Structure 1
Amino acid sequence: MAEVRIAAEPRNEFGKGAARKIRRASKVPAVLYGHGIDPKHLTLPGHEVLLALRTANVLIRLQGDGVDELALPKGVQRDPIKGFIEHVDLLLVKRGEKVTVDIPVTTVGDVSSDGILDQQLVSVSIEAEATHIPTGIEIDVEGLEVGHVITAGDLKLPEGSTLIADPETVILQVSAQSAAEPEGDEESSEGEAAAAPAEEAAE
């Protein structure tokens, strides 16, 4: 995974007022922590952070006055209405270090015509080197028959990655189409059955 370089400024003012002032300047308050260091309070350019966070588990190179570190986003606070980023927690990482992350699980292909795909998890926890985090895992479901189940232990992990999730955790399964029929059809059938005795009584 390529690094995204973002300029970082030390932050010495705290509190809600200071945070609002930072956001009005189109910037984002952030905290860098990990490896036993005292947390570093930073100010980051808002647009660059927004673009970087579009990539899952993006590796960020923070550079600025007294700062030159690698970090992973571990917590992002967004405005519940407008959606803009209010604050970012960043975990300090080192090259060669193993980290635990959630990576997305996607599918390609179509299951058998009489089945329906039921994907129960869209991400899975793995351990990988901080500078070589996989972008995701792809599962080929082409032609899978009804009853087929894929668990976390069945996933083909990228080289250098280790599964952290329970291997028995169900990622996806193929269910029968009939199991997905709308309840309205059943109600209709029940209504017709109830109407039959009434018609016989009338005769």
Structure 2
Amino acid sequence: MNLIFYFNTVILARMLEIAVKERDKKKKSQALRDAGLIPAVFYGPKEEAMPIEVDARDFEKVWRETGGSAIVVLKGVGDDKEALIHEVDVHPITGAPRHADLYVIERGKKITVQIPFEFVGEAPAEKAGHTVIKVMHEVEIEVRPSELPQHLEVDTSALKEVGDHISVKDIKLPESGEFVTDENETIVAVKEAAEEEVFEAPAEEVTEASAEEKSTVSSDEGEEKGESEDIQE
């Protein structure tokens, strides 16, 4: 196995803003949805749970763009709050969000999040006919909110031969970042392509089959000859 010198870049997540409003607990959730709103709640280490409502289209746009790996700024209820989209309940058929939990973080303190990998580059090993196997698709890290990456790049162009692999420890993190996932875990590896098996019947079976075919043909010919002689008589 060759020693791989691996380089990658860190793409920091953009902070997006979303307007929220304190929700009247007397309002039914379905009534809010019918009005184009989503019922939600935010909470955190220093924030009591507060029911809120948010425009459905605005929320879905932010959620689709950031998922759970970016910070959104909640505006409209007291001071601006930085939060992670912690959990989203979606409609089983349409996939549209129906309710959201937002986790308000403490500014200046590290947070623990799952960050997705983005695979870039083309592996020379794959061009050579080998198989490149992606074992992991995200990693858990601890990082300051201001340095939260949107994703972490994994450059597969460093993979050239069977046995080459990229581990968690090979990935570059922001300055404040630390891996929670075991650094020795393999993210992607090169395996030798499995050869297709060609089934060949054993020689004895082929010989026996041929003998049976000849015997059948001879028997048929004998019967036809006998029938011919009977007709002539």
TM-score scaled to structure 1, two decimals? 0.86
Alpha-carbon offset, residue 12 of structure 1: 2.5
In the alignment, the residues of structure 2 paired with residue 161 and residue 98 of structure 1 have an alpha-carbon distance, to the nearest angstrom, of 9
Q: State whether residues 114 and 146 of structure 1, in contact with CA within 8 Å, keep that contact through their aligned partners in structure 2.
A: no
Counterpart selection for 2:146 from 125, 131, 147: 131
- Alpha-carbon distance change, 36 to 96 in structure 1, aligned in 2, over 3 angstroms: closer
Partner residue of 2:109 out of 82, 97, 108 = 97
1:65 positional shift: 4.4
Aligned length: 192
2:99 equivalent in structure 1: 87
In structure 1, the partner of 2:177 is: 161
Give the letter aligned to residue 164 of structure 2. Answer: H
Q: 1:106 to 1:2 in 2, by over 3 A?
A: closer
After TM superposition, give the deviation of residue 67 of structure 1 in Å. Answer: 5.4
CA distance in 1, matches of 2:86, 2:110: 15
Q: Does 1:68 align with 2:75?
A: no
Tell me if structure 2 keeps the 8 A contact 1:52–1:58: no
Q: Percent sequence identity over matched residues?
A: 30
For each residue in 1:95-132, what CA deviation from the matched residue of structure 2 results, as whole angstroms up to 9, or x when unmatched?
Answer: 32210111111222222113211111111011111122
Greater share of residues in strand: 1
After superposition, the CA RMSD in angstroms is 1.9
Q: Which residue of 2 aligns with 1:197?
A: 204
1:37-76 paired onto structure 2 within 5 Å: 37-53=47-63, 54-56=65-67, 57-66=69-78, 68-76=80-88
For 1:101 and 1:89, locate their aligned partners in 2 and report how far apart those are by CA, in whole Å: 15
Mark the runs of 5 or more structure 2 residues left unpaired by the alignment.
Answer: 1-12, 212-233
Instruction: Provide the secondary structure at the position in 2 that maps to 1:38.
Output: strand
Bigger relative CO (Cα 8 Å, ≥ 6 apart): 2
Tell me how far apart the structure 1 counterparts of residues 60 and 162 of structure 2 sit (CA, whole Å): 41
| Runs of 4+ with >4 A deviation | none
TM-score (norm 2): 0.75
CA spacing shift, 1:79–1:7, aligned 2, 3 Å: same
Deviation (angstroms), 1:143: 5.0
Give the SS at the match of 1:153.
helix
DSSP 3-state at the match of 1:136: strand
Cross-structure match for 1:149: 165
Amino acid at match of 1:47: R
**Aligned-partner SS, 1:142:** helix
Name the structure with the higher helix share.
2
Q: Which runs of 5+ in 1 are unaligned?
A: none
Q: Are the aligned partners of 1:3 and 1:59 in contact in 2 as well (CA < 8 Å)?
A: yes
Counterpart Cα distance in 1 of 2:90 and 2:35: 16
Q: Deviations over 1:128-182 (max 9, x none)?
A: 111220111112221511111222122222332111111122211111112xx5x
